[in-house]
Chains A and B, each alone.
Chain A
Amino acid sequence: MSRCIWLLLLLALGGCSESPQQAGFAGLAGVADPESDVPFLQPGAGDRLSFPGDFGPHPQHRIEWWYLTANLRTADGEPVGLQWTQFRQAITPRPANAEPPEANTWPLEAAWMAHAAVSFDTRHYFAEKLARGDVGHAGARAEPLAVWLDEWQLESASEDDSWRLQVSTDGWSYDLSLSINRAPVAHGDDGFSAKSADGEGSMYFSLVDLQIEGTVTLGDETLEVSGQGWFDREWSSQFLKSGQQGWDWFALHLDSGDKLMAFRLREDNGDFRAGTWIPDKGEPVALRPDQLRLRPTKPDAQGFPRQWRLEVPDYGVNLEVSAPPGDYLNSGLYPYWESPVSVSGSHGGVGYMELTGYGE
């Protein structure tokens, strides 16, 4: 039942007149047409990031998320992949400085969705939660940072640049502390990340160097874990261009200390690629489509390619990226693939891969 409502909500806003295919993955290519006088804001070239405000919600944008992926290891050295995401979908846009509606009116201006996943030993655990916005049990705040939905929460710990993430669900949970070791990295043109040649896109920045420690409990076993993480913050009102089916996204921590973010948007005729090269020392560099080559090497029976070749010749990067054995499909309202990956080739390393819009 809730699936239907969620789908209806999103499709209604995503442009019912368009076919599901044209509306793209999760309807994100649909055109937003609010009935209120307040329009949705659409990021464009020239928009800039501002901190700490941009860590908080953007009620005048249609869709945004707070996205953590982590490559961890247990005390025995076994790899553990971990994900936490909280999405905000605005049903009615509201200027950032406007007063939110009263909770006792049970407003329907925004809907929140949270995902949590753990990938360990070829097993994949996934949970999804939904909540109405502006009631109080789900929300986000920039300063001090807090993003929560029911009992799942990411919040700023007492020390600066340190966060705490707690998630618990039926049968498994995790409790992590994250320390931020690098200033936020703006992607694209100072934060405006185009997603197509026509200029649709989003505001996008990441915290690429997170040191993580904590515990992951799966059923009866409790694992002490530590490792590195990547935190994405992205918001937009027109995410995909009409006709784009989905995307493939990679965030890699290379052994050399450099980081690489790359994504590819699949369209009917060709694809749109972009990325960011973040050297260990130095400023991040936005990669143009012609500087980046990205393609799957081995298709999967399910339709999700598990092996990829990623090349950034300008920086001597020629990588084979592959997901470990296992099924890493996040089967929520909008299924997508999210898995840890291992990197080999010119550099070694770990990372995370997200594949959306395949099959349906």
Chain B
Amino acid sequence: MSPQVIIDERKTRSGAERIMTHQERLTAIGETIAGIAHSIKNMLGMIKGGEYQVESGLQREDLARIREGWAMVKTGNQFIADLVLKMLTLYRDTQPAYEEITFREIIDSVLMVLKSKAKEKGVRFEVHLEPENISGMVDVGCMREALLNLADNAIDACPAENGCIKFGAVHSNGLHTELYVEDNGRGIAPEIEPRLFEPFFTTKGETGTGLGLPVVQKIVEEHQGVLRSGPGPQGGARFTIRIPRREALG
């Protein structure tokens, strides 16, 4: 084969690769747009339903129905706001702003946010820290967001009665810290596991954005860490964030 032919083949191959990459990008963009559109359409349905409840409630002077309708409008608005924030976290390149903090402080702020949801479902929280004042260098806002997403999922996964979520933090060795969130639900179904971190995939029906776990994964990767999922000792799911101990690395 002459050198000219080799060059031509290379040209062709690189052209094909370029086209493939372009097509793959278009497909990915299309899937993302479809996912966003799907989520927003669902919530527009919620808001429209709320409008109906408010308007018909006003006509009937039915305060309970007006309240229901207004709650639907708020649910829809909150969902869309949440979706936009998660999209920005997921698709924007960011560098963690590291600061030292005790994991107790981060977990407590997560518990504060989820207190009413957990109470509504009868879920109790347990926190296991080794040592009690365990701390680390993390982007506090991002790590809080990651734990919040995991804990929010954990509440949804808990059984209707005696739900229990355990949070933990431990220095797994001299160089890493592990944070975990586990529930006592039914665990992760084997057919679901491969799709867990796929954007817009959700098992929560039409009320899930499908962006919670991809956001957690991105935050963990930005911390040069690893996110693992699997069965926990309570029989439910356990998500573990393993990040390097930057303070130990110096």
Query: Do A and B belong to a common assembly?
Result: no
